[in-house]
Chain A
Amino acid sequence: MLRRSCIFVCIVAFFGCSASASARTFATSLVTAKAPRGTLGQDAGIDVAGGRYVRMTASGAIALAAYGVCPHSVGPNGCAAAIAFGREAPNAPAGALVVAFVDASKHQVTSWAMVGDAAFVVIPARATRMILRINGATGREHGRFRVAADAVMAATNSTGVGVSAAGVHRFVSQRQVATSAAFTRAAAQHLLRRFGFSDTPANVSSVYLQGPSVWLAAQLNPASIEDSALSNYEQAMPEYTGTPSDDNVPTTVERRIVQREISSNRQLLEKVTLHWLEHFSVSEDKVNDIGAMAHYEDTVRADALGNFAQLVTDVSKEPAMLYWLDNNYNNGSNPSGTPPNQNFGRELMQIYTIGETQLNQDGSVATDANGNPIPNYGQPDVDAMALALTGFQVYTPDPEPTGVDPRSTDVVSFNPNAHATGPFTIVNTQIIDPGDATIVDKCVSMLAHLPTTAPFQVTELLQRFVTEDPSPGYISRMSAVWTANEDSPNQIGNVIAAMATDPEFYTSQHSMVKEPIEIAADSIRALGGATANPVTSSVPNPLDQILSDDGSMAESHYFPPSVFSFYRPGQKESLITNSELLSRWSDNVNVSNAAQVTSTCSTCGINLSLANLAPMTPSGVTQYLLDALVDGGSPELQSLVQNYLTGNPKGYSGAIWLVLSSPEYEVN
């Protein structure tokens, strides 16, 4: 069967053996005794008889060579010196490669070894699992680390251990030492695609020439960026057409936000706004009030680069949030009666501010004297927070104003008679009750100033914009910036600036998967396109495919599928599925169909004029498209596209479809 043959092929490639026959022999020899010589890239395999060894290098490559019990008296070419047992880990510095063994009976890590170059490590007889990881600062169990490999071993008897089906869970990220590399054009593409929605080759070159700090400085001050074309477009749009609660009928406001992402010059603002919308994950499915959703979106945008506590406070008082997490008409005034709804009280802490367990400033999980994580809150804190936040009520004035922007129709008021009486003890802090709506400000401020909030928020930001596995050092640096700006009105913007200018940002290229909105918006922006005005154009807006897709290409910003938004930070690869690929290939047709060189596609809904391609050769067109869409692309993709264009010199649509449907385009 295909899978089996792949395993053998992998063994061959891995160990450098030349024939499948010897691969079979080698593989069988695993479960007997000796390990043959072999090569592991640059590393030699194990050449010892009778012992259980793992050969590791600083790059994390491992060969599990053989098994058996190793007497400690064997010299350095045999077993390593005895490793420390017990729960106390050796002092392993940040970035060190550590192997941890999980004991069968305790299901806990009972032994550790720090692994240096070419070290040998003995596998304890009782170990059922071996975890290779790069350490966080503490080197302890539950510490934040990057797992390099994880193997479950089946204990067969007291003298040996077989290896069960296991394999790579994670790979060692290329831990490049941050250098002060020059800001290359590729770095400019990276910056614009991560902190915006990509851009045309001409604009990329412009940012490259002016340097990142000029672009960032402007983008961090969105009011300074002219955006009149977008404003004119928006002012022509009627408000709130469509059925608010039907997610198959995108409303004008939903189209508007996607239009901003594609057309606004304030790219950073839109990208960060998207982050916060995914962070709060409010869904119109339950809110059922499109005006409230638009109002909430505007509030998020206004605060997106500002102060975090202010952002959370403002969102907490939005009608959409009050509906979403049941804090509307949540009554806490009767201390001996039915308790209030705890949904918002819990999620405010768990998802929006401090998270479940305490973190160290480098993002690693803090542990107590027994090595267990420390919860940030317990049920009593949820009880108290829920009580503290009671009293808010949303109502629509009667008579309802007509001819007025529906977003401003709902009024949020605070009813002291529905409010529980403080003070409230929450997370070991006593909150004095002001008896008015500023109780939210006080609770949020308290949460925002807890030390654990900085690494929690910073890690989520890094996972969204930079890498799903940020290093402890990166998290520490950003946590310091976050904390230093705790009371600054530009807190988030300053953290973004630090993230985008950190050397580790520039070593994270091509490391993340695009989410659906990036797949769609990047293609249009990179090719210099614009969507047709849905007001004046009778053609269905192709962006509707993002808004109305029920499946894997759905990312209607007002309909996140769950409190975990569209994907969990750190698990973006779950977006790549069979269904998503089929949707994407199909959706790509809409974009590529619009690519016209000599005329405008009147039925496409996108204006994508590529007149500059007309005089180019197939090679030139190939290079242009690949530069715009995939930063140059691989030789295979280049030859695929160029071959196609050579046979179809006017086949710009087909060429664009091929690039957009390639695996490389899936990557950010």
Chain B
Amino acid sequence: MVFSRRRFLCGATAMGLSMPLFMRALEAQAAATNTILVVVELNGGNDFFNTIVPMTQYGPYNDLRSNIALTQSQLAATMFDPNISTPANQASEYAFHPTMTAFRSLWSAGKLAVLAGVGLPPTAYGNTDHEQARYAWSTGTIDSFDLSPTGWVGAAFDQIGQTGTLPAMIALDNDSPTIMLATTGSPLVINQNIGGFSTNVGSSLSSSDGKARIGGLNSNDAYALASMPAEFARATASETEEYVGTVQSILSKESLSNYPTTYAFDPPSTTTSYSTVKTQLQQVARVLLSGATSRAFWVSQGGYDTHSDQISNQGPLLGEMSEGVSQFYQYMQQANPAIAQNIVIMTISDFGRRPNSNSTAGTDHGTSTVSFVLGANVVGGLYGSYPSLTALDGNGNVAVPVDFRNQISDVCQAIGADPSLIVGQTYPKLGFI
């Protein structure tokens, strides 16, 4: 439970409630870099072995999951070697899922890092349960629930500081995501409803009158409410009024008319369906190109919990994700190279899935998965290690060579935050950034 709005705290103490309040650092604990982080969450637990197929272990791979195994001919166009410069027609060790041709291109350009075998430590409880695993990836901890007061992106911005025309963190969703919980500010939550703000109540209350009256109430810091949730709603409402005009103008099509591009990016439109990761990334592009100083974005894609019918479900999702991410990356490079230079896009997912398939042509919850990191400053390549599909643990799952907190730690440093305060220790850098 976080009632973390800055105004909320002011309002609360003005109420005279005896509330704990810690002094905050007066100077940033860490020096912010120019990195702009885009987190792409793949909800449900993305199956590792059909995302990156181990051609060197193809025999065991096919034996374990013959009813969903991808064939070698299907994978021919997306094969790759750890050596990025190996041409596609000679690459033979791994293969992206056939729908991920966009990532295959980025791989050969040296801008895509593939983090193999990343996940929660096998001894962490709940490592194969959605709730706990997702919570861990959001907070950078494996503590019991709710022990961590912040998400790791939120904690990073608590350190760096949050200033600018819009909040530093923006979430493209309906609700506030745990990953952006912070104590010095909350994310701005954008979905299609931010475009509509009607207060026309028939003939009895004009739009401007309604806004003015309710606006007065919402911005009244001395609005002495006996209820914490109401104060939180008031603070959020006040902030909403502060930002809604800015966000609306950003999200209008006209804001992009100054940025022609020769790249075939899906044309941005004002139809505001935020249901696909591509559309969400389009909104991120708009915000960045408007000049807003926001530096962390969260988008998500659901449907990866492929207990059944994995072939028909996972492929299209991975295709949409890799296309969307690639298009966003390239569009930004065309539209504003200076901003694009700073962008780092990373994926996270609850967990991987079991090496063996099940009788409904799907896979059940497993251990390690693969993450992708992409950016102009990213050192492309294969990191971590691809676990053995023959040396499985007692539960029939693969090893987890890269602790998920290592990925988070490296990215925190790229933003300019001290990771040891967030994930509890310093991890040796994996090297992708």
Contact = CB atoms under 8 A, between A and B. Distances in A.
Interface in A613-659: 634-637, 640, 644, 648, 650-654, 657-658
Interface stretch (B239-247, B257-265, B321-329): B239-247
B197 A3 contact: no
Given A554-B174, A562-B302, A64 B13 contact: no
Contacts of A583: 193, 196
Interface residues on B, range: 35 or more
B167 to A, nearest CB: 9
Interface string B1-25: 1111011011011101111111111
A150 interface: yes
Contacts of B18: 40-43, 57, 59-61
Contacts of B23: 11, 27, 30, 64, 163
A455 B204 CA distance: 51
Contact of A342 (B146, B185, B358): B358
Given A326-B362, A581-B233, A662-B217, A510 B227 contact: yes
Contact of A169 (B183, B198, B225, B307): B183
A578 B307 contact: no
Contact of A657 (B199, B228, B358): B199
Given A64-B22, A340-B358, A513-B229, A166 B183 contact: yes
A251 to B, nearest CB: 20
Contacts of B358: 338-342
A177 interface: no
A570 B146 contact: yes
Interface in B397-420: 397, 418
Interface string B193-213: 110111111101100011001
Nearest to A28: B26
Contacts of B209: 654
A552 B214 contact: no
B2 A650 contact: no
Residue in A9, A337, A372 whose Cβ sees the most chain B Cβ within 10 Å: A9
Contacts of B10: 6, 9-10, 13
Give chain B's interface secondary structure class: loop
Interface stretch (B76-84, B103-111, B155-163, B377-385): B155-163
Interface string B100-123: 000000000000000000000000
Interface in A1-45: 1-3, 6-7, 9-11, 13-14, 27-28, 30-31, 40-43
B356 interface: yes
A314 interface: no
A3 B189 contact: no
B47 interface: no
Given A164-B25, A562-B302, A651-B205, A330 B159 contact: no
Interface in A543-578: 549-554, 561-564, 567-568, 570-571, 573-578
B158 A165 contact: yes
B241 to A, nearest CB: 9
A563 to B, nearest CB: 6
Nearest to A42: B18
A665 B227 CA distance: 11
Given A142-B144, A379-B396, A666-B229, A661 B20 contact: no
B228 to A, nearest CB: 7
Contacts of B275: 550
A567 B175 contact: yes
B126 interface: yes
B29 interface: yes
B128 A379 contact: yes
A667 interface: yes
B237 A7 contact: no
Given A148-B20, A586-B197, A579 B190 contact: yes
Given A168-B3, A653-B205, A338 B236 contact: no
A115 B16 CA distance: 22
B1 A582 contact: no
Interface stretch (B129-137, B280-288, B337-345): B129-137
Contact of B131 (A28, A128, A341, A356): A356
B267 to A, nearest CB: 21
A342 B174 contact: no
A372 B227 CA distance: 36
Interface string B291-332: 000000000001001011000000000000000000000000
B229 A7 contact: no
Contact of B227 (A378, A511, A582): A511
B175 A577 contact: yes
Contacts of B425: 107
Contacts of A416: none
Contacts of B161: 165
Nearest to A43: B18
A204 interface: no
Given A27-B26, A634-B225, A582 B184 contact: no
Given A644-B213, A661-B214, A14 B191 contact: no
B332 to A, nearest CB: 24
B188 interface: yes
B20 A132 contact: yes
Contacts of B200: 589
B334 interface: no
A510 B229 contact: yes
Residue in B14, B23, B216 whose Cβ sees the most chain A Cβ within 10 Å: B23
B395 A380 contact: yes
A667 B227 contact: yes
B149 A147 contact: yes
Nearest to B394: A379
B75 to A, nearest CB: 22
A448 B67 CA distance: 36
A577 to B, nearest CB: 4
A568 B201 CA distance: 34
A427 interface: no
Given A41-B16, A654-B201, A469 B21 contact: no
A363 B147 CA distance: 15
A651 B237 contact: no
A14 to B, nearest CB: 5
A326 B132 contact: no
B31 interface: no
Contact of A663 (B184, B234, B244): B234
B365 interface: yes
Contacts of B21: 10, 14, 62, 167-168
B421 interface: yes
A574 B223 contact: no
Contact of B395 (A59, A378, A581): A378
Contacts of A350: 129, 131
A234 B205 CA distance: 35
Interface string B171-194: 000111010000111001111111
A47 B137 CA distance: 42
A341 B364 contact: yes
Contacts of A346: 129, 364-365
A163 B224 contact: no
Interface in A190-216: none
17 contacts: A1-B163, A7-B6, A27-B26, A131-B147, A163-B25, A164-B29, A165-B24, A165-B29, A167-B184, A330-B359, A341-B358, A573-B229, A574-B178, A577-B189, A661-B210, A663-B225, A666-B229
The 10 residue pairs across chains A and B that have the minimum distance between CB atoms: A169-B149, A654-B205, A149-B20, A379-B395, A577-B189, A663-B233, A343-B307, A342-B364, A167-B183, A663-B234
Interface of B: 1-4, 6-7, 9-10, 12-14, 16-26, 29, 43, 67, 125-126, 128-132, 144, 146-147, 149-150, 155, 158-159, 161-163, 174-176, 178, 183-185, 188-194, 196-202, 204-205, 209-210, 213-214, 216-218, 220, 223-234, 236-237, 239-240, 243-244, 273, 275, 302, 305, 307-308, 356-360, 362, 364-365, 395-397, 418, 421, 424-425
Given A164-B29, A165-B159, 6 more contacts: A3-B163, A40-B18, A343-B307, A379-B395, A577-B189, A589-B198
